[in-house]
Amino acid sequence: MSLSLNRSLNAFRSCRKFKVTTVIDSFVAPVCNEQIEILFKDDAILLIDKPSGLLSLSGKNPLNKDSVHFRLVQQFTTALMVHRLDFGTSGLMLLALNKAANTNLSRQFHDRTVGKTYVAILDGSVKDDEGYVDAPIAKDKPNFPLLKICQSSGKPALSHYRVLERLNHPQRSKVLFTPQTGRTHQLRLHSREMGHPILGCDLYGSKQTQAMADRLMLHALSLEFDHPVSTQRMQFTCDCPF
């Protein structure tokens, strides 16, 4: 037997000792009967109002096929996702209708020239009328897919907040968030960092605050960006349902 063949056989026998395991997403999204509302469309872009309880993209689990993208490509076959909203978040989403528009808009998000605001209902009464939360966000590897605040390894994350209304029985705060960065779960984590988690948050709230709402009380209120073709600055708003 040749030396090279012998090495190959030994390598094969060695590999057989290891098991290949596939991580299966066990989360199955409840059926979402709410419809996507189209707010604006031209040849390059599509603005929609996403309902809470609908995935932005279809999940790895075959039971999670329904999503914003899955629904829209039935009607707009070239639709491309420029950004995403969490499953529980409602409100404004921007999609591109061709590759050139997608490249342009993706660059704007990357360069942080897109203006975004969100409305949230937080647990308790926020003391200051407005302020900033400056707290870096990192992966929480032992608890994937959760993230965490980490000063040493986190990526910079900055959010401005302004209290719109303080509510009683129980005490809650309606807040307008203007994120300066776009980290995953940023507003959920920054709300918790303030000591006032978003009601209905199943990831970073307590069982009590999760039970205080039948959905994540977070809504994408506005988007401001340059049109990918005309370069005109455009601003859209989407009424908050709570």
Question: Of these residues, 49, 86, 214, 239, which one is catalytic?
Answer: 86
Q: Measured at the alpha carbon of residue 83, what is the angle toward residues 80 and 89, in degrees to the nearest 5?
A: 120
Beta strands in 78-207 (DSSP E): 80-81, 90-96, 115-123, 130-134, 137-139, 147-149, 158-167, 172-179
Q: Which of 234, 224, 227, 232 is nearest to 113 (CA)?
A: 224
Tokens representing 196?
A: 């006032």
Is 42 among the catalytic positions?
Answer: no
Tokens representing 157?
A: 């994350």
Q: Is the sign of the CA dihedral 88, 90, 92, 96 positive or negative?
A: positive
Strands 115-123 vs 172-179: parallel, antiparallel or unpaired:
antiparallel
Distance from C-alpha of 218 to C-alpha of 200, rounded to nearest angstrom:
9
Distance from C-alpha of 30 to C-alpha of 161, rounded to nearest angstrom:
31
Catalytic residues: 86
